[in-house]
Amino acid sequence: MGNSTHYTDRQYVTHSVTVLRWTCFLCTVGQVVHTLPEGEAVMGVTSLADEVYVLRPKYRNEVEVYDVITYRLQRCVTVPDSRGFTDMTSCEHYRCLYIASYNAECIHRLDVQGAVTRWAVNVTPAGLSVNAAHNVLVTCRFVRKIKEFSSHGDLLRELTLPDFVINPWHAIQTRNRQLIVCHGRYVDAVHRVCKISVDGRDIVQSHGGQPGSDIGQYLLPVRLAVDNNEFVFVADHINRRVTLLSPTLDYIREVVSTGQLKWKSDRLH
């Protein structure tokens, strides 16, 4: 959970990678620092202040809250009127969590003081992220759109992705307002990470292509994380690894290799 200017063997900035049933914390050189207990499937992971939030598909106590230093469980939070989850993210500015529900086609907003609200997306939400303006970006996979909402659910913008971006899972907006999007499902001919122009019309840069397990290939790139210097981390689901890309989407290395993960990599923060 942090950011790093240069990636050297002396730096130990922790990031969290969530696989299907447990969450592990790794430094930027790929060393496992800590692993949370195995349990229900993990549908989201994020951090806020000094705590780590893990989202699980349970009837109650869906959000587990851990101390960021000791990794000890602090409490559990129930999301009211929840029916299935796809992702979770957080906003330090507004001090709240956002949780996407695929059955209800909505976003739940959980304030750290305990207030809970929700708003409709009207299509199935996939990935969530928060941009520099503190707005919520909702990736809508089946309609190939990115919807931007204010923190309280006002629809600010709706962007249709280029024709070749099929089955988008997650999108993050850079400081210059370009979008980085990962896309590709089992049956798709292209699995890759793309940087898309501000107007959403053009693919500026990309990494990946034909699905596979070699360097430069992906099998379901499902989640992204971008640090303060716009280096890109990609959770490669089927290949069970996390890839590090430069700000121009050039391959740098694997941050987490297949042998380090017991389950498939599914969420990333």
**pLDDT at residue 29, rounded to an integer:** 59
The letter for the amino acid at 170 is: H
CA distance 72 to 234: 27
Output the pTM of the full model: 0.89
What confidence category does residue 9 fall into, taking pLDDT thresholds of 50, 70 and 90?
Answer: very low
Give the pLDDT of residue 114. 80
pLDDT of residue 74: 95
Can you give the pLDDT at residue 31?
A: 73
| Amino acid 6: pLDDT | 38
Q: Reduce the secondary structure of 71-139 to three states and give it as a string.
A: CCEEEEECCCCCCCCCEEEEECCCCEEEEEECCCCEEEEEECCCCEEEEECCCCCCCEEECCCCCEEEE
Note the pLDDT tens digit of each residue in 69-80: 999 999 999 998
The mean per-residue pLDDT over the stretch 85-94 comes to 96
Query: Is the model's pLDDT at 21 over the cut of 70?
Result: no
State the Cα angle at 122 between 119 and 125, rounded to 5°.
85
What is the rounded CA–CA span in Å between residue 122 and residue 104? 9
pLDDT digits (tens, 9 = 90+) for 193-248: 999 999 999 999 999 999 999 999 999 999 999 999 999 999 999 999 999 999 99
Q: How far apart are CA 18 and CA 2, in angstroms?
A: 16
For the cut 50, the answer to whether the pLDDT of residue 178 exceeds it is: yes
User: Is pLDDT of 61 > 60?
Assistant: yes
pLDDT score for 185: 95
Domain boundaries, the chain: 40-160
Strand partners for 224: 234
Q: Do the Cβ atoms of 247 and 230 come closer than 8 Å?
A: yes
pLDDT of residue 5: 35
Pick the CATH number of 40-160 from 2.120.10.30, 2.30.40.10, 3.40.50.1820, 2.170.150.70: 2.120.10.30
Q: Would you state the pLDDT for residue 224?
A: 97
Distance from first CA to last CA of the chain, Å, rounded? 7
What is the C-alpha to C-alpha distance for residues 129 and 91, in angstroms, rounded to an integer?
9
- pLDDT tens for each residue of 152-167: 999 999 999 999 999 9
* pLDDT at residue 1 is higher than 50: no
d(CA 4, CA 267): 20
Report residue 23 CA to chain centroid gap: 13
pLDDT category at 57 given cuts 50, 70, 90 is confident
Q: What is the pLDDT of residues 117-155, one digit of tens each?
A: 999 999 999 999 999 999 999 999 999 999 999 999 999
